[in-house]
Structures are given as structure tokens and as C-alpha cells.
């Protein structure tokens, strides 16, 4: 199943997306209880929204070998979760606004896990049971700020720096997924999504030793490879097998 | 005015707290629109809840000189905001659960700013206009994990590590506030709340250059001094002038 969150006439709802791009509105939430309504739409008539606003926004910083090398960092020995901030979330086809004083903005294409059940102390073997589905994220980063600043506040959490979407798919072939990133239709990064240092099950299980994961939380699973510095008007498309394409244009702001 | 968020008969609402500890339930939200209801309660008959669940949970790491020295860190030259996680929030009088493998759990008593209006690019002079009110936080920290881990995931964001409350006060004398922390009724830390390296206005203004602050966001303003390692059954009371007392007992979990 594919779930979208959309707006129409100033109202935001969830809908089920079928293979012909028809959307059936639901009443309720896909995470708790819902029923199908009789309202149906064409996908192209709807404004897509961020598929979920998490209670806590988790993100794995370093989880693929080539990316860690590119960042000049040491390889983690344990699955240690990190965080991003909700203010930065934008939807598929919304614009990433590059601050006027930003000089090195890069993409990071990531698989996103959406938690569906509240869990604590879950084993690696049982971890997948708390997963509702999967979507994609672009962990947009300003590399100079990332080096200069004490925290990731503006390097990774400036407004619009966290595109997520376009929808949540509940059934994917995790082991066979490719992550492909293209800038203006030219492929610039490609890697096997499964080549993670620590897998989804390991992160969920280890995190849940200390932290309750709640339905609606998201975990961004990290990225591989590296990115060029993006320019005004570049369009970045992130595609993962079975998840479609998350597409966002990058717009350079002018100083005020 | 003092606002409380409370539960009664499995329903959570906001109420206005008067000087006689009487609570008037409101319909709506203090941040948007509300009207007074005719329902009134005695404070002692209600279960206090975390006064607000933020969209983004901001926290200043290092903002008082003595605490920075105690942590062996260098003094920040700019107001750089950090983050904490919603899973860890608990209310006044709820228990902090110390994980069985934690060995150095300490308190940090902090003033908390509650944002009331959505703002971007706000000047230092205008920053106070977006503040709804103030409450208190205990930024509970495990010092060994804080040193060992790549992120603050378990050192500062383990479940129950972020007591916040007891309520939100809209009118305080910021310049004259004292922060007092007591363990089992013995005062262990005391400092002038206003002795911040960077003030509330500076943090709001600088953060808002890149980040939209939303109504309901909270900013924990950092702490001064240091804390003993807390023991099973210790009760930590954080008091700030005009804000009352945030009280939480610390309970050591046993290994499973």
C-alpha cells in the first residue's frame, strides 16, 4: 500500500494511492484507525504534504562507508542515533531555500523508516514488527557550517533543509533497493540501499533500550557517496527502488 | 497568568491557575484561541502533564560560565542552539527512571522559554514579542555516556530524562530570577538565572535567521554550576523565582 498526505481546499488528509495514481481519501489515520471514504481524486489534482510530522525526528549520521570517508570521519563502532528538527521538513516538489550566506549546500539521499507501533526494549529479531512503512529523505547539509558550528542547527536544520516524501510505502524489497540521486536529470550518486554499516533492525533495537519509539516517529537511515555543491535552480531527484522519486528544486535566496 | 496542562478522567486539557490554586478549565488552546469554561477544580485533584509538547525541542548546551568550566569545554563565541527529544519529556512529580547501566546521572536546572508566535528573522529588539511564557526544565544527563557517545541520544534523551513544568507563567521578572536546585531538601546549586552568556533575545534572534520558530516550540536556556551524581530515591527540586518548583524523584532501574 502507498499512503499519501495531501491538501485540497485548505484541508489536509491521508489517502490511499493505487497503481493508476488514483487516491481514495480515508477518515482517520493510517497509524491508528481509519475507514475508506467515498471521495476519490487524481494524484495530480492534490498538493502533496510531508507524509508524517514525527513526534521525534531521528536520523543516522554515519551509516555508509564511502560517505564517512568523504566526510573525513571515523567509522562508528555502535549504532548511535542522532536527530533532526521538524521546522526543516518540506514536501515533495517544494523548494529548498538556500540561505544567502550558504556556500556549500549538498544533498544526502536517504531511506526513511516510519515507526507504526510504540515500542521499548524490542529485540533485533522483532524490530521490524514496529515498522509501518518507508519513504525517502534528502538530508540537505551546508558543509562549511557543519564544520564551523557546535551543533547541526543551521548546517542541517535550516528551514526547508529536510525534504521528505513523496509518500509512505508499506511493502518494499529492502535487500534489493538502489538509491539513485540525480541533479538536473544527470545521475550523480548511486548505491545499494542495504549496504548500511548498521541495519534498520540494529538501530531500532539498540535505540529502544533507552528510548521509547512512538508511532509516527521517523528514522532517516543515512547516505552513501558524496554530492556536488548545489547551485541556484538545481533540481535534485532522489529515487529508491519501489518508493518513487522525491524531487526538489534548490533556490538561492538573496541577502536582505 | 499561570497555565497548566492536566489530566482528569482520561482527558487532557489546559486550565488557568489562580493564586488560590484553583483551576479554571479552558476550551481551546492558550496559544491560539480559547474561552473559559464553567468547570473549576482544585489543583491537588488534577494530574499535571508536561505543559506543552513542542514541535521542535530546542536547548542551549553551554550558556553559563561555571557549568562550561565544570564540563571542561571551551566558551562559545556565538549563540548556537541545540536540541533535545520529545520522547524524554515527563511532568512535574513523575519519576526519572535511571537505566540499570547508568553510573553518573546529574541534574541541570534550566529556565524554559515557550514560544507563542511563529516568527522568522526577528530582531533582538523584537524577540520578546514571540514569547508566550516561561517554565522550568531538568536537563538530566548521564556524564559518562555524554563523553562516550557520538550524539546525546542516551546521555540526554533517554526516556524520562527531560522533566518540564510544573506550569507556564506568562509574567516573570527575568532579571531578578534565582535558580535553586535542592536534592532531598538540601540546596546544592544556586545561580542568577540572568547570568547567561547569551540572552534569550540573542538566541531567538540568531536562531530565527535560519529557522522558523513555531508557536509551542520550547527553548531550554542552559544551566550553571554542577551536580552530584544522583542516587536511587533522590528527589530533585528545581525552583526559579516566580515559577514555583519542578520536583521529580529519581528511581534506579534494575537490570532485566
| ipTM above threshold 0.90 | yes
Q: CA angle, corner B67, sides to B65 and B72, nearest 5? A: 95
Q: Mind listing the pLDDT tens digit for each residue in A161-204? A: 999 999 999 999 999 999 999 999 999 999 999 999 999 999 99
Q: Given B30, B49, B68, which residue is the final one in a domain?
A: B49
Q: Answer yes or no: do B69 and B156 share one domain.
A: yes
B24 pLDDT exceeds 80?
A: yes
Nearest-Cα distance to chain B for A20, in Å, is 35
- Give mean pLDDT, residues B44-57: 97
Residues in chain B closer than 8 A to A88 (CB atoms):
211
* Grid cell at residue A17: 494511492
Nearest-Cα distance to chain B for A3, in Å, is 23
User: For residue B59, what are the contacts with CB-CB under 8 A and spacing of at least 6?
Assistant: B81, B82, B83, B84, B110, B137, B139, B219, B220, B222
Secondary structure class of B106 (helix, strand, coil)? strand
CA-wise closest residue to B218 among A53, A85, A60, A61: A85
DSSP state of A253: P
- A193 CB near a chain B CB, below 8 Å? no
- Give mean pLDDT, residues B37-55: 97
Q: Answer yes or no: do A14 and A71 share one domain.
A: no
Q: Answer yes or no: do B148 and B233 share one domain.
A: yes
Q: What is the pLDDT of residue B72?
A: 76
Q: What is the pLDDT of residue A143?
A: 97
DSSP state of B68: H
Q: Answer yes or no: do B35 and B118 share one domain.
A: no
Q: Mind listing the pLDDT tens digit for each residue in B113-162? A: 999 999 999 999 999 999 999 999 999 999 999 999 999 999 999 999 99
Secondary structure class of B156 (helix, strand, coil)? helix
Q: Count of domains in chain A?
A: 2
- CA A107 to CA A250: how far, in whole Å? 10
Interface test with A, best of B148, B150, B207 (most A CBs within 10 A): B150
CB contact under 8 A, A87 and B212: yes
A68 pLDDT exceeds 90?
A: no
Q: Answer yes or no: do B60 and B41 share one domain.
A: no
Residues in chain A closer than 8 A to B149 (CB atoms):
80
pLDDT band at B256 (very low <50, low <70, confident <90, very high): low
Q: Answer yes or no: do A66 and A154 share one domain.
A: yes
**Is there a cis peptide before residue B166, judged by omega within 30 degrees of 0?**
yes
Which residue from B minimizes the CA distance to A55?
A: B86
- CA B205 to CA B59: how far, in whole Å? 15
Contact in structure between B75 and B62 (CB atoms under 8 Å):
yes
> What Cα–Cα distance (Å) separates residue B93 from each residue in A212, A213, B1, B89, B251?
20, 23, 22, 12, 12
Q: Mind listing the pLDDT tens digit for each residue in B193-216? A: 999 999 999 999 999 999 999 999
Q: Given B33, B49, B65, which residue is the final one in a domain?
A: B49
- B87 CB near a chain A CB, below 8 Å? yes
Q: Answer yes or no: do B142 and B163 share one domain.
A: yes
Q: B113 — phi, psi (to 5°)?
A: -95, 130
Q: Answer yes or no: do B65 and B179 share one domain.
A: yes
Q: Give the CATH number, domain containing residue B11.
A: 2.30.30
Count of Cβ atoms closer than 10 Å to residue B167 Cβ: 26
Secondary structure class of B88 (helix, strand, coil)? helix
pLDDT band at B57 (very low <50, low <70, confident <90, very high): very high
Q: What is the pLDDT of residue A256?
A: 66
- The model carries a pTM of 0.96
Q: Given A48, A67, A86, which residue is the final one in a domain?
A: A48
pLDDT band at A73 (very low <50, low <70, confident <90, very high): confident
- Give mean pLDDT, residues A208-219: 98
Q: Mind listing the pLDDT tens digit for each residue in B63-106? A: 998 777 777 778 889 999 999 999 999 999 999 999 999 999 99
Q: Answer yes or no: do B61 and B184 share one domain.
A: yes
- CA B129 to CA B118: how far, in whole Å? 10
Q: Answer yes or no: do B208 and B125 share one domain.
A: yes
Contact in structure between A243 and A172 (CB atoms under 8 Å):
yes
Interface of B with A in 25-54 (CB under 8 A): 53
- CA B157 to CA A211: how far, in whole Å? 7
Q: Give the CATH number, domain containing residue A204.
A: 3.90.850.10
Q: Answer yes or no: do B173 and B237 share one domain.
A: yes
Interface test with A, best of B58, B78, B83 (most A CBs within 10 A): B83
- Give mean pLDDT, residues A218-238: 97
Domain ranges, residue B17: 1-49
Q: Answer yes or no: do A77 and A177 share one domain.
A: yes
- CA A178 to CA A185: how far, in whole Å? 17
Amino acid at each position: 500500500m502507498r499512503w499519501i498526505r495531501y491538501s485540497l481546499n485548505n484541508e489536509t488528509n491521508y489517502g490511499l494511492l493505487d497503481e493508476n495514481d488514483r487516491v481514495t481519501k480515508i477518515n482517520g489515520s493510517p497509524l491508528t484507525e481509519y475507514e475508506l471514504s467515498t471521495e476519490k481524486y487524481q494524484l495530480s489534482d492534490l498538493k502533496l504534504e510531508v507524509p508524517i510530522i514525527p513526534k521525534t525526528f531521528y536520523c543516522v549520521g554515519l551509516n555508509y562507508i564511502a560517505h564517512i570517508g568523504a566526510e573525513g570521519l571515523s567509522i562508528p563502532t555502535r549504532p548511535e542515533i542522532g536527530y533532526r528538527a521538524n521546522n526543516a521538513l518540506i514536501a515533495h516538489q517544494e523548494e529548498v531555500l538556500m540561505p544567502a550566506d550558504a556556500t556549500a549546500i549538498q544533498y544526502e539521499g536517504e531511506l526513511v523508516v516510519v515507526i507504526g507501533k510504540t515500542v521499548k526494549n524490542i529485540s533485533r529479531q522483532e524490530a521490524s514488527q514496529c515498522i509501518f512503512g518507508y519513504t525517502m529523505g534528502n538530508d540537505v547539509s551546508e558543509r562549511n557550517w557543519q564544520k564551523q558550528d557546535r551543533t547541526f542547527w543551521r548546517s542541517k536544520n535550516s528551514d526547508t533543509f529536510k525534504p521528505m516524501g513523496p509518500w509512505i510505502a508499506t511493502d518494499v524489497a529492502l535487500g534489493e533497493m538502489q538509491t539513485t540521486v540525480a541533479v538536473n536529470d544527470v545521475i550523480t550518486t548511486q548505491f545499494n540501499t542495504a549496504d548500511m554499516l548498521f541495519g534498520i533492525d540494529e538501530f531500532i533495537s539498540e535505540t529502544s533500550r533507552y528510548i521509547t519509539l512512538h508511532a509516527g516517529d521517523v528514522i532517516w537511515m543515512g547516505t552513501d557517496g558524496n554530492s556536488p555543491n548545489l547551485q541556484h535552480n538545481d533540481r535534485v531527484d532522489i529515487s529508491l527502488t519501489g518508493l518513487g522519486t522525491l524531487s526538489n528544486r534548490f533556490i538561492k535566496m538573496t541577502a536582505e
